[in-house]
Amino acid sequence: MSYRVFNVLFICTANSARSIMAEAILNQLGAGRYRAYSAGSQPAGRVNPYAVELLQRNRFRTDSLRSKNWEEFAQPDAPAMDFVLTVCDNAAGEVCPVWPGQPMSAHWGVPDPAAAQGTEEEKQRAFSDAFITLNRRITIFLALPFDKLDKLSLQSELHRIGTEKD
């Protein structure tokens, strides 16, 4: 039986933590049905070490993760995206890029763990909270009955996932 592989782009501002974690989670949990990518409007140029440590501790692959500009995915030779999900947190005053084209899109705002202040434990907790939120949302996304949903219903479900209380 053949099946379609869906391309998903996660976007946040710095592409150092939230979108990186989402990329790693979906690539592993999607089990080959999904190919996740991540990018930022103002990439930090490096993956946050707290994100790397958390992903590795939870047995997610990190070897191919890198911080990159979202314009990389607007190039003619870039993979065509089926879904573009922004994970930046508007409440923190961040500006989320608008993705051109026809992919389904939704905003799944998550507070930026890289902005966390305080003790080492408080910073790790911020990353853990973001990871848990993204993991839960991606798990719900993977359970959607894509073959039974029309485009409007699917768009509604994507929006619902991003607005549910964590």
Annotated catalytic residue, options 88, 114, 126, 158: 88
Is 124 noted as a catalytic residue in this protein?
A: no
Active site residue 100: no
List 8, 12, 52, 81, catalytic entry:
12
Catalytic entry in 96, 140, 142, 144: 96
| Type of residue at 75 | Q
**Beta-strand relationship, 34-40 and 6-12:** parallel
Q: Give 31-95 as a DSSP string.
A: TTSEEEEEEESS--SS--HHHHHHHHHTT---TT----BGGGGGSTTSPPPSEEEE---GGGTPP
Alpha-carbon distance of 68 to 63, in angstroms, equals: 15
Rounded to whole angstroms, the Cα distance separating 111 from 74 reads 26
41 catalytic? Reply is no
Give catalytic residues, as residue numbers. 12, 88, 96
